Structure 1
């Protein structure tokens, strides 16, 4: 159950010893979500950072009753409503399972305890924070600096499996266009 996350951790921080990994494993919890289940809703406090073992998650917020997708997270990646996680403030976004998911969760408290006991986890924590920041930054840059056609092509290049796994209207929302505009782009190909 924890083999995928252990492999991932080892790629991020090869210096993790068996002792430190065992301490981490004792603090991890597994959660199963069914398609359509929410991990976090706007206004909840996000108390965990999650590793997606299996399945597909999305982050989104509502603007005038319309869903605006900000991220899709596939297997072997981390997800969190990170501002809420770090500040203990209400979440601004929703985290929803688009497929049945198995999440491996680490609570804020357990993460802080690991930092104190095993400094190697500070490197891990920094790398996860960097990953989540880069995910957000990349999406923002793509939305602001590229045409809709370029944004769609970027998605095809970076995450081609999403085209098969995510409904078209969510893809359109993620790249900042209407479903009709996305259909026109796809028909031109």
Structure 2
């Protein structure tokens, strides 16, 4: 995937901008279950997923509460840790073998200094709006499931029901019933 394809969702960039982006980013490979971010670490980068998938969760004694599910062609990061530069309360882990493009905060600032076009990258920080919509609108389980299928259609093909249910904050049995009625 080219820099132009990666950046297409946030704006249009000149050939010079694309070269700058390629200079400031790093390709990384993760194996299934590799940790990208652990609790207590401060998130210092944003990642564009080229292939594979990740999940973000909080460990609560015996259970993992899914905070987010990340798929290819998505930007991924821990929002509170990155924005506030405070220790993460969540883990980001590879659900399967994956490849990402990493853009550190310092390199992001360098891109913006090099070209004002990179101010468009601010759009990647709007992801929290999906979670806000899901949980601030008193949606029924069926509405939550329909919303997530529209926003992230591949989610139901990649992640098991138990993880999707945790992400949607509904019981796995409820999600199974909702899916059976579709």
Same fold at TM > 0.5: yes
Q: Cα offset for 1:81? A: 0.6
Task: Give the CA RMSD over aligned residues.
Answer: 1.9
Contact 2:134–2:144, Cα closer than 8 Å, also in 1: no
Aligned residue for 1:129?
125
**Match in the other structure for 2:155:** 162
Deviations 1:47-68 (A, max 9, x none): 1100000111112213354212
Q: In the alignment, which residue of structure 2 is the partner of 1:47?
A: 44
- Cα distance in structure 1, aligned partners of 2:17 and 2:149: 38
Is structure 2 residue 78 aligned with structure 1 residue 101? no
CA shift in 2, pair 1:123/1:157, >3 Å: closer
Structure 1 residues not aligned, in runs of 5+: none
Q: Would the aligned equivalents of 1:12 and 1:127 in 2 still touch at CA under 8 Å? A: yes
Contact 2:79 2:128 in 1 (8 A): no
In structure 2, the CA distance between the partners of 1:109 and 1:167, relative to structure 1 (3 Å rule), is same
Partner secondary structure for residue 52 of structure 1: strand
The answer to whether the 8 A contact 2:71-2:154 is kept is no
* Aligned residue in 1 for 2:169: 176
CA contact (8 A) 1:70 1:139 kept: no
1:11-69: CA deviation from partner (whole Å, max 9, x where unpaired): 4221x111122111111001111111111111111111000001111122133542121
* TM-score, structure 2 as length reference: 0.89
Equivalenced residue count is: 182
Task: Find the aligned partners of 1:93 and 1:120 in 2 and give their Cα distance.
Answer: 32
> Contact conserved, 1:46 with 1:91, CA < 8 A, in 2?
yes
Higher helix share: 1
* In structure 1, C-alpha distance between the alignment counterparts of 2:84 and 2:148, rounded to whole Å: 31
Alpha carbons of 1:175 and 1:114: their partners in 2 closer, same or farther (altered >3 Å)?
A: same
How is 1:5-44 mapped onto 2 (pairs within 5 angstroms)? 5-14=3-12, 16-44=13-41
